[in-house]
Every structure is written in C-alpha cells, then in structure tokens.
A = this chain, B = another copy of it.
Amino acid sequence: MPNRRPTAQDVAKHAGASRSAVSMVMNGNADGNVSPDMQERIRRAAAELEYTPHPIASGLRRQRSRMIGIVTDEAASSPFAGRMLAGASQAAAGHGYLTVIADAGGPAADTTHFIDELRRRRVDGLILATQSLRTIVVPDGLRLQPSVLANCRDAAGTMGAIIPDEVRGGREATEHLISLGHRRIVWIGGGVDVDARPARIRGFQAALAAAGLPPGEVVEAGWDIDDGFRAAEALFAPENGPRPDAVFCASDRVATGALLAARTAGLDVPGDISIMGYDDQRHLADATVPGLTTMALPHEGMGRVAAERIIAALDSNAEIGAETTLLECPLVVRGSTGPAARA
C-alpha cells in the first residue's frame, strides 16, 4: 500500500540534472537558469516517474501551507452550509489551495478556539462563515493573518466581508412582481432579530416607490412555514378587505406556508395570486407545488469570492482590504409567480 513516491532527487538522477534544477523547472523559475533541453529532459523524467513535489516539504521551506481555513458556526444545522463550502473549495482548488474546515458547532462567538487551532496548523488565510447574516465581533486571531468574513460583517468595520446584497434582492424581487403587473404587494414575515429582514424590506419599499406605488404593507410574522401560513390565512380572509395581488415572503418557508394558505382559501397560484420566496432553499423551493419563485442566497458565491479574495491577496502579497463585497441574489423564476389576473 505505501508505494514510495519519487522525490526531486530521483528525478534529478533520472534526468542527469541537479536537485535544484528540478525544483526550478517544477516551479516555473527555470527560464533564465536551466537550458531548454535540460528542462525538457527534467520534465520528461518527472512525467515518467509520476513525480509530483511534496507539498509538506515545500510548505516547510516556503513557510506557506497553501491551505485556507474555513471556520463555521453550526454548519450542521444549516441546509446552506454545503454550498458555501463547495464554492470555497472549488475556487481554492482552482488556485492550488486546499480547503480545511473547522465547525464550531455553536455561535460565532465560540469560534475563537477553532481559529487558533487553524492558525496553529499554519493555514495561509482564514474565512469565518456564519450561517445567517449578522454583525459579529471578530475574534482577535482573525486579524493576525489574511482573513475575510462570509455572510457576516465586522462590528468594527475593519475586516473585509462578503455578504448578500439583500437590499438589491428585495428590490429586484419586487421589480419582478411589478413587471408582472402586480400593484398591491404585501410583505410577510421575518422575525425582527435577523439583519436580513430590514434590508429586504428596504429594497421592497424602494422598488415600490420607484414605480410610483404607495408603500407596501408589512405583515409581522416569523420565518417558518406556519408563520407564513397564519399570516397569509389572515391576509386572504375576505373580511380583511381586498386581497393583495402578490405576497413577498421573508423566506421560502414562509412562502411555502403562504402557498398552503392560498390553497386552503381556494386560490390558484399564480392565477389568483403570486407568491415570492427568498433563499432558494434546496429541496424546498424546488419541491413545492408550484415551485417557488425566489431570490437565491448566494452561498456558493460567498464561499467562492471569499476564497478568491484571500488567494488574490496571498498570491500578490497585498493587503486584503476592509471592503464589504455585496453579492447579487439571483432571481430564480419557478411557477409561483405569474401575470396579474386583471392585467
């Protein structure tokens, strides 16, 4: 099983060159230093022996591990974690970096230990990713090396972050509804404890105002299916006045509840009413009847951009910057929105 791998020494012997020549060829630094035909012989020898440089040895020498660490708060409880990790790992792999993960299994404040552990392991850069959008006090360890925040922002405002553009998401979702001919659009749900809510509502109202429509009604409710169900049920009751053309839900779960309420009230979606979700929660938004039109949270993109931003800084030896990058939430059109009935 062990199958000893060849070393640069072996390749050098095989090609009749020196170890350092091999090293230079493998690292692309050979051009002014090793004759072209020697380079070719080395390359051939390397290929023949299936030589590939030992990353641990080169890491030791260069004082670079080519690993980037991701520490997450309770990835286990989020259906979105996989997307972020996949995005980061794919981006990193594309630049020859390895992605190492540490899940704190608890709130972001408990990540300190894991950050230290990853630093001890000599990761070149660090991503701190939270499962829901929030503002956090950044653990000290993060500041000691290139790091960015994903899906959260620094209370001190001095650390770079990648977060969804929720205002724009709220706006574009609303524009989609308006373009379909809807005029009376009601917002449902989203507990007040989460940062995303006010931003989305701001976008919602901005789009309405831009279209010359009056401010939209905002119905308080939580984030879950039954919150959406109850709120929509009340909204659809005839005694509560005219029905809205469309509802814009704080989450796909709320939207699923609204869908259910519409069905219970005998309303056709989207014939009688359009329902818009938010999150693009896999195995939910794509699994309702009809499928939910929704704004996708860019988890994969956050992972990718976070990794790319760190790697760019690492590879150019530059500072990473404190800017906050806002990522677009793409509109995913499924069946739950359609043209206004009276349009």
Contacts and interface: CB of A to CB of B under 8 A. Distances in A.
Interface stretch (A6-14, A38-46, A166-174, A277-285): A277-285
A63 to B, nearest CB: 9
A121 interface: yes
A78 B72 contact: no
Contacts of A187: none
A80 interface: yes
Interface string A103-124: 1010000000010011011100
Nearest to A117: B93
Contact of A144 (B3, B93, B105): B3
Contacts of A264: 263-264
A100 interface: yes
A225 interface: yes
A67 interface: yes
A31 B114 CA distance: 30
How many copies altogether? Answer: 2
B85 A122 contact: no
Contacts of A226: 287-289
Given A57-B60, A75-B85, A76-B83, A67 B100 contact: yes
A87 interface: yes
A79 to B, nearest CB: 3
A77 interface: yes
Contact of A98 (B74, B103, B121, B288): B121
Interface residues of A, number: 62
B81 A76 contact: no
Interface in A95-150: 98-103, 105, 114, 117-118, 120-122, 144-145
Given A81-B85, A86-B75, A99 B98 contact: no
Interface stretch (A48-56, A154-162, A238-246): A48-56
A82 interface: yes
B85 A103 contact: yes
A220 interface: no
B283 A253 contact: yes
Contacts of A289: 225-226, 229, 257, 260
| CB-CB nearest 6 A-B residue pairs | A81-B82, A79-B79, A76-B86, A226-B289, A86-B103, A75-B82
Given A76-B83, A77-B82, A89-B101, 17 more contacts: A54-B60, A56-B59, A56-B60, A57-B60, A67-B100, A75-B83, A77-B83, A78-B282, A79-B82, A93-B102, A98-B121, A101-B101, A224-B286, A226-B288, A253-B287, A260-B260, A284-B284
20 contacts: A54-B122, A55-B122, A56-B60, A72-B86, A75-B85, A76-B87, A77-B83, A78-B282, A79-B282, A79-B283, A81-B81, A81-B85, A90-B105, A98-B102, A101-B101, A224-B286, A225-B288, A226-B287, A253-B284, A256-B256
Interface of A: 1, 3, 52, 54-57, 59-60, 65, 67, 72, 74-83, 85-87, 89-90, 93, 98-103, 105, 114, 117-118, 120-122, 144-145, 224-226, 229, 253, 256-257, 260, 263-264, 281-284, 286-289, 300
